[in-house]
Structure 1
Amino acid sequence: MDEFQQILPVSALAEDKKVAFYKKTYTYLAFSVLLFVVVEYLFLQSDFIVNIGLQMTQGWTWLIVLGLFMFATNYAEKLALKTKDKTTHHVALFIYVLAEAFIFVPLIYVAMEFGNMHETNVLTQAAIMTLALFTGLSAVVFMTKKDFSFLSSILTIGGFLAMGLIVAGTFFGGFELGLWFSVGMVALAAGSILYQTSNMIHKYEEDQYVAASLGLFASLMLLFWYIISIFLQE
């Protein structure tokens, strides 16, 4: 019976254990965001890192970076899920946050320059909107208790379609992705948040709160990226 209990999803646990799991997951998510902010700040203080970040967005180099980043995302999530070792879970999350911070360097730098030119704080506005959407979407899952696992295939197809458009935009200079692409990616990120939050409730086990927080963090950052992109195109 004890072994059976260990493989129960969070939705099947006693209420106090559910609450404890959710607290741990969102605490790790909050610390991940805080770590991201700190590391991002430190990265932006280095002209060397900023220059590398700006250079890596040029042409096909960006495709390599995105490919490596997608690989790192999948690897970190699988690593956190496949093993019971808490140290491995924490290392996977830490490495992923560092990777996200590095990927965001060029976008954050451009957003800061844009804000200085237009006397507006793009990052604060984008952060508030991201947090509001994330909170609202999470609330939908908790209130409806619906299993959004059916979104998996939709998100996979949407991800491949997005990559195809990015490749086309890279190799065909006149092909601009523009505002509507960013809007579509916000919708994709919203679906990902629904999917990851649903997984946290219906798929993850009691000791997989770090893996759950990693999935939520990835979706949150995707949403933040494209909300910033929308503000930069206004």
Structure 2
Amino acid sequence: MENHQTTNTQMVSMLTDVERASFYRKIYTHLAGAVLLFILVETLFFQIPAVLNLALSLTGGYSWLIMLGGFMLITNYAERLALKSENTNLHYVGLILYVIAEAFIFIPLIFIAIMATKEGSMSILNQAAIMTLSLFTGLSAIVFLTRKDFSFLKSILAVGFAIALGLIVAGVLFGFNLGLWFSAAMVVLASGSILYQTSNLVHKYNSNQHVAASLGLFSSLMLLFWYILSILSRD
């Protein structure tokens, strides 16, 4: 995710300690709000049979590629709104749109996770959530305590995600399962993304980009949650 400096703003690294603390509070407040909105929208989707059935019908073969492609188009548009628009209201539109897209694409995985337990409980979801938040907190602490610039991860992540996308497409086209090791590798990649995004909070963002920063963290958090949940949902 690229950062664009606008007029009448300052880089976070140039702010006073009090201003930086305020900036960070805004980001993590928005991140918490995005997670809460995700939970609410996901719950709502599961209460609407038409939405639930549509999402579940798109999980096989080429339909999954169409769903994944649509997700990428929507989220890329949402990121542009949050980053590049000069209208603050559009920043929030981008964040909300991103959350809704995430909630929709998560429907099949969450359905599988619920069905994976004999009683159809939320136990696997709860375990995945706890593990995700614990790892996210630990990685964030590393950045804030060391203040190390992890911008060097950008090219590594770009290559990693490109390879991952290629493997996902190949798996659909040729009908092979990517397996546990792929999910484990994606957890590592998602962890790197969290380090990179959190580092940007300290070194790269401008003082008016708290919504875009929260969106970047949310995307990395949900990617980590996806693959941890995928691992726990395996038989």
Give structure 1 regions of 4+ aligned residues with deviation exceeding 6 angstroms: none
Question: Cα offset for 1:20?
Answer: 0.3
**Counterpart in the other structure of 1:18:** 20
Deviates more, 1:11-20 or 1:119-128: 119-128
| Stretch of structure 1 that moved more, 84-93 or 7-16 | 7-16
CA-to-aligned-CA distance 1:177-228 (integer Å, 9 cap, x gap):
0100100111111011011111122111111100000000000000000000
> Which consecutive unaligned segments of at least 5 residues does structure 1 have?
none
> Percent same amino acid among aligned pairs?
58
Shift of 1:78: 2.2
Match of 2:192 in 1: 191
**Which deviates the most, 210-219 or 115-124?**
115-124
Q: 1:52-91, aligned counterparts within 5 Å?
A: 52-91=54-93
Counterparts of 2:35 and 2:206, CA distance in 1: 23
Q: Aligned to 2:148, what secondary structure does the other structure show? A: coil
> Residues 74 and 120 (structure 1 numbering): CA distance in 2 closer, same or farther, change over 3 Å?
closer
* CA–CA separation in structure 2 for the residues paired with 1:46 and 1:120: 19
Change (3 A) 1:4 1:152: closer
Matched length: 231
**Residues 80 and 94, structure 2, Cα contact 8 Å, conserved in 1:** no
CA distance in 2, matches of 1:156, 1:209: 23
> SS at 1:57's partner residue?
coil
Corresponding residue for 1:218? Answer: 219
1:206 aligns to what?
207
| 1:228 paired residue number | 229
C-alpha deviation, 1:7, in angstroms: 4.0
Deviations 1:11-34 (A, max 9, x none): 221001000000000000000000
Question: Contact 1:50–1:105 at 8 Å: present in 2 too?
Answer: yes
* 2:141 is equivalent to residue 130 of structure 1: no
SS of the counterpart of 2:215? helix
Partner Cα distance (2:70, 2:79) in 1: 14
Kept in 2: contact 1:193–1:216 (CA 8 A)? yes
1:80/1:88 contact within 8 Å kept:
yes
Mapped to 1, the partners of 2:14 and 2:75 lie a distance apart of: 28
Q: TM-score, normalised by structure 1?
A: 0.94
Q: Is the 8 A contact 2:114 2:122 kept in 1?
A: no
Structure showing the higher helix proportion among its residues:
1
Aligned residue type for 1:186: V
Aligned match of 1:45 in 30, 41, 47? 47
Matching residue within 167, 170, 180 for 2:169:
167
TM-score w.r.t. length of structure 2: 0.93
The one-letter code of the counterpart of 2:222 is: M
Paired residues of 2:150 and 2:196 also in contact (CA < 8 A): yes
Deviations 1:79-117 (A, max 9, x none): 211123210101100111011100111111111111235
Q: Deviations over 1:144-183 (max 9, x none)?
A: 111111111111111111111111111112x210100100
Separation in 1 of the partners of 2:78 and 2:157?
18
Return 5+ residue gaps in structure 2 as ranges: none
In 2, Cα distance between the equivalents of 1:118 and 1:105? 15
Structure 1 Cα separation of the partners of residues 112 and 75 of structure 2: 24
Q: State the AA in 2 paired with 1:217.
A: F
Q: CA RMSD in A?
A: 1.8
